Amino acid sequence: MISTLLVFVEIFNLRCLSHFNSTSMKPIFVSCLLCFFLCTANSQCFPDRHNTSWNSAWISCDRTVNPNSIRGNSHWIRLDLNNTYSLGQMTLWNYNDPENLDRGIQEFVLDYSLDGVTWEEWGTFTLDRAEGSGFYEGVNGPNLGGLNAKELIITGLSNYGGTCYALSEMKVEVLEFISNVNELEEFDLSISPNPATEYLNLEVNVENIEGDLKYTIVDLKGRRMINGSIPANGDRLTHKINIQDLNPGQYFLELGNAKASSAKAFIKINR
């Protein structure tokens, strides 16, 4: 089990948003947002607070086709984690504009998927109205209790009386990396030391695995920080990766080729 991470989504000023519009809702894919917190010029620098700006949020004023067909045309937001993870506690920040608190979602249904095609319902929940304060720190949402999922959809069923539906932020605990989306054969990979300071040592059992192995180190925002390849010229390979330029924090090492893959989490610390 890896250390608990957070998927922290602030629905504004994100490069991963496919669309933001105050009058219509489009799919929002946020596949690169594994991070501890976001701190933008238009938002607070306290990880658990949300400002009162109307444009620091997702706003849907028109119902559109939901990715889960049984929801029909609705107000929804979709979170794509890109890989499959075991998920824990959610925290939600309702719409926090003091002039339009009635836009905040009141009742919503949460659906999840392993492939983005087949959806299952997790449950229906009620979200308290926001405070309209810059000290607003959100509320606990559903505890997913180790649910394995790649994608989540929040569909608003009712709000507090406004003509539009809106939500500011959501945070999800990531308890464990399960698999990448291709569901390839997994091979034996070990890394050391963990935590690491200057170098990360890989040891890989590549028996019956053909072709070179490519590795990528990604940060908690899904950004590729280091990549390279290891020639597969034996049953067990060792390789050393220089990580001195990485900032302290938690990262994922992904290693694989067209037929097999594996991933490990590690922590980079200063000496």
With a cut of 50, say whether residue 93 has pLDDT above it.
yes
Give the pLDDT mean for 164-168.
93
Distance CA 139, CA 129 (A): 10
Query: What is the pLDDT at residue 41?
Result: 32
Domains of the chain in start order, with CATH, are 5-179 (2.60.120.260), 185-268 (2.60.40.1930)
CB atoms < 10 A from the CB of 36, how many?
A: 14
6-20, 78-92, 195-209, 251-265: which range is least confident on average? Answer: 6-20
Query: What is the pLDDT at residue 170?
Result: 87
With a cut of 70, say whether residue 9 has pLDDT above it.
no
* pLDDT interval class at 66 (50, 70, 90): very high
With a cut of 50, say whether residue 241 has pLDDT above it.
yes
Query: What is the pLDDT at residue 85?
Result: 87
Higher pLDDT, 184 or 161: 161
Higher pLDDT, 173 or 126: 126
Query: What is the pLDDT at residue 245?
Result: 93
Cα–chain center distance at 103: 25
Q: What is the DSSP letter of 138?
A: -
For residue 161, is it left (φ>0), alpha (ψ between -120 and 50) or beta?
A: left
Give the pLDDT mean for 163-191.
78
With a cut of 70, say whether residue 179 has pLDDT above it.
no
Q: Which two tokens stand for residue 77?
A: 């937001």
With a cut of 90, say whether residue 246 has pLDDT above it.
yes
Query: What is the pLDDT at residue 261?
Result: 72
With a cut of 60, say whether residue 51 has pLDDT above it.
no
Give the pLDDT mean for 41-54.
47
Residue pair 112/169 in contact by the 8 Å Cβ criterion: no
Query: What is the pLDDT at residue 80?
Result: 85
CB atoms < 10 A from the CB of 173, how many?
A: 18
Pick the most confident of 54-58, 141-145, 216-220. 141-145
b or e along 68-102 (b: 16 or more beta carbons within 10 Å of the residue's beta carbon)? beebeebbbbbbbbbbbbbbbbbbbbbbbbeebbb
Q: Which two tokens stand for residue 187?
A: 């091979």
Residue pair 194/266 in contact by the 8 Å Cβ criterion: yes
pLDDT tens for 101-156 read 999 999 999 999 887 878 899 999 999 999 888 888 889 999 999 898 889 999 99
With a cut of 70, say whether residue 71 has pLDDT above it.
yes
Mean pLDDT computed over every residue of the chain: 77
* pLDDT interval class at 213 (50, 70, 90): confident
Nearest to 169 by CA among 66, 74, 50: 50
Query: What is the pLDDT at residue 4?
Result: 42
**pTM (2 decimals)?**
0.55
Q: Which two tokens stand for residue 51?
A: 């400002």
Distance CA 250, CA 72 (A): 39
With a cut of 80, say whether residue 203 has pLDDT above it.
yes
CB atoms < 10 A from the CB of 244, how many?
A: 10
Q: How many CA atoms lie within 13 A of 122 on its CB side?
A: 25
Using a pLDDT cut of 70, give the percent of the chain over it. 70
Q: What is the DSSP letter of 98?
A: T
